[in-house]
Amino acid sequence: MIVGQWLATLSSNEAIFFLLAACVMALACFFLVFYYLKRARLIEDAPTSRIRSAAQGYVELVGAVSTGEAGELMAPLSGTPCVWFDYKVQRYSSSGKRGHWHTINRGTSDQWFQIDDRTGVCIIDPQGAEVMTEHSRTWYGDSENPMQPKDEGHGLFRVLAKRRYRYIEKFIYIHDVIYALGYFHSLGGGRHIPNTQKMIGAVIREWKQNYDQVLHRFDQDGNGEIDMQEWENVRDAASQEADKRRSNLAKALTKHMLSQMPNKQFPFIISTHSQKKLAKQFRYYAVGILVGGIFFSYVMVQLTLEL
């Protein structure tokens, strides 16, 4: 009723403008409804894999967090120990009776960390991930960097500057149990070893970068050139070196990694929420946005009738 009364007060030009705006908002809402429902279905349908036996490709893992080779991180605003952080610094600006917060600094860590599901350990590369964590902190202060020493200044300055900055940090901690959905691939353990001919070719190309050393080693007649017989000696030596390198690669320990899909075809999700809670959260988002889409569709119909 209230919406109908408001629409009746609009001029033709205003009605056309709001009709176009309502169309755009309705389409955006319905797009987001399918977007979140697709994520919910993806999470619900994907079986949880074990790290030790996970197939190469798009998989779902659940495991306890531990630090990577670089060790623990410190969140830049609060100094909180963690393995992943995201932060924002916002400043409050006012114009007349209105005010708003705008972001002046932000950042997200991209350092690798690990998860362990008791069958194996997997490296998590968080770059490009949608991270949803239950650990967050928001507080206020009077400087852009909350960890810098405070300048007390004059009393009037302190009153004007007080709480004009807002700090928001999100974390993943050591020992958190996380849900992760992404591209699983394994390195080492005899995987992806070039065949003998390719390895020989790589060795020879590497040696040719220092041709003087090749001459010193294989130019037996000292004429400053590698002839056919000497070239055979080069290939024999390169073959032996290739066999050694392939043997070393075969002995390398297997490392598992979860990261963003190379073609970004499917989402890369990391969350401290459980699979069930995360899927339910996406469905709640879809329902809320659907209500918005229905409202904007109603406005579209009413505006069309008015025109």
| Centroid of chain to Cα 133 | 13
Rounded to whole angstroms, the Cα distance separating 169 from 229 reads: 67
Percent of the chain with pLDDT over 90: 47
Copy the structure tokens of residue 165: 């900055």
Tell me the per-residue pLDDT of 121-150, one tens digit each, with 9 for 90 and over: 999 999 999 999 999 999 998 888 887 545
Three-state secondary structure string covering 194-224: CCHHHHHHHHHHHHHCCHHHHHHHHCCCCCC
Tell me the per-residue pLDDT of 77-105, one tens digit each, with 9 for 90 and over: 999 999 999 999 999 988 767 788 999 99
Parallel/antiparallel/unpaired status of strands 57-67 and 177-187 = antiparallel
Average pLDDT over residues 206-226: 80
Copy the structure tokens of residue 195: 């065949």
Per-residue model confidence (pLDDT) at position 158: 46
Tell me the per-residue pLDDT of 169-213, one tens digit each, with 9 for 90 and over: 999 999 999 999 999 998 766 566 777 888 888 888 888 888 788
Rounded to whole angstroms, the Cα distance separating 251 from 191 reads: 10
E strands, the chain, in order? 57-67, 73-74, 81-82, 84-95, 98-108, 113-116, 121-124, 130-132, 135-141, 165-172, 177-187, 255-259, 269-271
